[in-house]
Structure 1
Amino acid sequence: MYFPVADIELSPFIPPLVACAISFFTSMAGVSGAFLLLPFQVSILGFTSPAVSSTNHLFNVVAIPGGIYRFIKEGRMLWPLTWLVVIGTLPGVIAGVLIRILYLPSPESFKIFVGLVLLYIGIRLCLDLIRKNAPPKTPQTSKHFQISDTHLDIHSLQYTFNGNSYRINTLAVICLSLIVGLIGGIYGIGGGAIIAPFFVTIFKLPVHTVAGASLMGTFITSFIGVLFFQILSLSSLAPDQIIAPDYMLGILFGLGGVVGIYLGAMTQRYLPANVIKTILATIILFTSAKYILFS
């Protein structure tokens, strides 16, 4: 099957299978898998134009709703955190899209940027794994596995999960989300892969409560990212660049992602947080080293 925007020929079964496998593992940590799907497109498929970022955003739009539904169904969607993430990331994503088109159009510079982003994510996860004080084990079946007693004001967000109370600063979350949105807009991941490790390592929130909010934030910002890329493709800002998404390729990736994210969200509660983080950290650091050393 020929994909004209990506300018590649590929079996239509490969994109959904790859996306399903990646998303199954990454969705357990609140990450859609787009941050690993992009290296696959760039290095394996040879899709290196700025359109790869918009295609990655499209993957998020198609793939994430299944996982969101699962987290809502299980009572683990932290809505106040979701809206704080969206408020911060939206302007950052728009700025990131412009930076990608105007200043990082070449494959070489973009690969190095991707490698550095992945390296940072991997280091944050490793630091969290080696902490001496491990989080308490979450019961697999209990009413305490649901988020409760949420309260949001201009100063802080508070909630209860697994018998423990958590509190984070509202302004800090918005500022972090703005920076994450900027990077996510450039990379084409919506920001979830960056902000989820931050919530776990810096704000000390349990990964089982962060995942739903991170996926929802990624879905909304990626939807805006796709629209913005499409609008810019019709403008005179980048007349010599292909920046609109490859819709057929993005949808095929997304269909596989729907299955993978749903199954990952369903399986997450049965795996310890450290197992999830170890899988992610290993894959991320390997990919980062490849991009930085061999770009």
Structure 2
Amino acid sequence: MYFPIANIEINPFIPPVVAFVISFFTSMGGVSGAFLLLPFQVSVLGFNSPAVSATNQLFNIVAIPSGIYRYIKEGRMVWPLTWVVIIGTLPGVLIGAIIRIQYLPDPRNFKMFVGLILLYIGSRLLKDILKGKRNKKGELSVDEKFQKLNKEFNSKHREVDKQLPKVIVIEFSLTRISYDFYGQEFKINTIGVMTLSAIVGIIGGVYGIGGGAIIAPLFISYFGLPVYTVAGA
């Protein structure tokens, strides 16, 4: 089948199958997988025009809702954090889209940009994995505590119709967001999150992703937030 905008000819079943496989695994970490789908479109399918970024953004809109529904149902959505991220990201995405069209229309330059972003994401993930291994010698991380508490809760209430403890928002202001998760309080700077979201939004607008794969590791590493609460945001 020929796709005129992408100027490629391919079996129409291949893109949805690849998108399904990618989103199946990446949704577990709170990202749509668009950061992996774009390299596939550019390098494998040969879709090199700026339209590939817009196509990837549309994939985000379709792939994300099902994952969000689960986090809402389980009470793991930190809504103040979500709204701050949205407010910061939207203008950044618009700026990024303009940069993509005007300054990065050349496929070679765009591939270099994509490569740098993937290198950053990969290095952050590797660093977090190595850091996690070192932490196992000492205290449990927040996420490990959650897993332990979650397992204990399920074993105690398996036969009882009870729900897991949910996120409790303690404070939401222009300067600070504070919430409780499994008995532990987390505090973050509102302006800092909004600024970071704007920067990530610009990068995401150029790349064609929502930015979750970039901002989630930063929330975990720099802000010290548990992945089980930032994934929904």
Quickly name the TM-score band, shorter chain normalised: 0.7 to 0.9
- Structure 1 residues 199-218: aligned runs within 5 Å: 199-213=219-233
Between the aligned partners of 2:110 and 2:165, the Cα distance in structure 1 is 40
Contact 2:30–2:67 (CA under 8 A) maintained in structure 1: no
The structure-2 alpha-carbon separation of the partners of 1:14 and 1:74, relative to structure 1 and needing over 3 Å to count, comes to: same
Shift of 1:164: 1.4
1:172 aligns with 2:180: no
Instruction: Provide the aligned length of Structure 1 versus Structure 2.
Output: 213
Aligned to 2:101: 101
Between the aligned partners of 1:20 and 1:207, the Cα distance in structure 2 is 23
Question: Which of 1 and 2 has greater Rg?
Answer: 2
Q: What is the TM-score of this pair, normalised by structure 2?
A: 0.87
Between the aligned partners of 1:144 and 1:128, the Cα distance in structure 2 is 27
Aligned to 2:23: 23
Q: Aligned with 1:212: secondary structure?
A: coil
Contact 2:92–2:201 (CA under 8 A) maintained in structure 1: yes
Between the aligned partners of 1:180 and 1:192, the Cα distance in structure 2 is 9
1:192 aligns with 2:198: no
1:181 aligns with 2:189: no
Between the aligned partners of 2:124 and 2:218, the Cα distance in structure 1 is 7
- Structure 1 residues 134-283: aligned runs within 5 Å: 134-135=140-141, 136-138=144-146, 139-140=150-151, 141=153, 143-213=163-233
Q: Aligned with 1:203: secondary structure?
A: coil
Shift of 1:144: 4.8
Stretches of structure 2 lacking an aligned partner (at least 5 in a row)? 155-162
Whichever residue aligns with residue 105 of structure 1, its letter is: P
Shift of 1:198: 0.8
Shift of 1:151: 2.2
- Greater RCO (CA < 8 Å, at least 6 residues apart): 1
Between the aligned partners of 1:151 and 1:15, the Cα distance in structure 2 is 43
Shift of 1:86: 0.9
Contact 1:144–1:163 (CA under 8 A) maintained in structure 2: no
Stretches of structure 1 lacking an aligned partner (at least 5 in a row)? 214-295
Contact 2:78–2:169 (CA under 8 A) maintained in structure 1: no
Shift of 1:197: 1.0
Between the aligned partners of 1:165 and 1:86, the Cα distance in structure 2 is 23
Per-residue displacement from partner, 1:198-245 (whole Å, max 9, x unpaired)?
1111111111111111xxxxxxxxxxxxxxxxxxxxxxxxxxxxxxxx
Aligned to 1:116: 116
Aligned to 1:39: 39
Aligned to 2:12: 12
Between the aligned partners of 1:199 and 1:149, the Cα distance in structure 2 is 17
Identity over aligned pairs, percent: 63
Between the aligned partners of 1:150 and 1:63, the Cα distance in structure 2 is 31
Contact 1:27–1:33 (CA under 8 A) maintained in structure 2: yes
Shift of 1:77: 1.3
Q: Aligned with 1:179: secondary structure?
A: helix
List structure 1 runs of 4+ shifted beyond 3 angstroms.
140-145
Q: Aligned with 1:158: secondary structure?
A: strand
Contact 1:76–1:212 (CA under 8 A) maintained in structure 2: yes
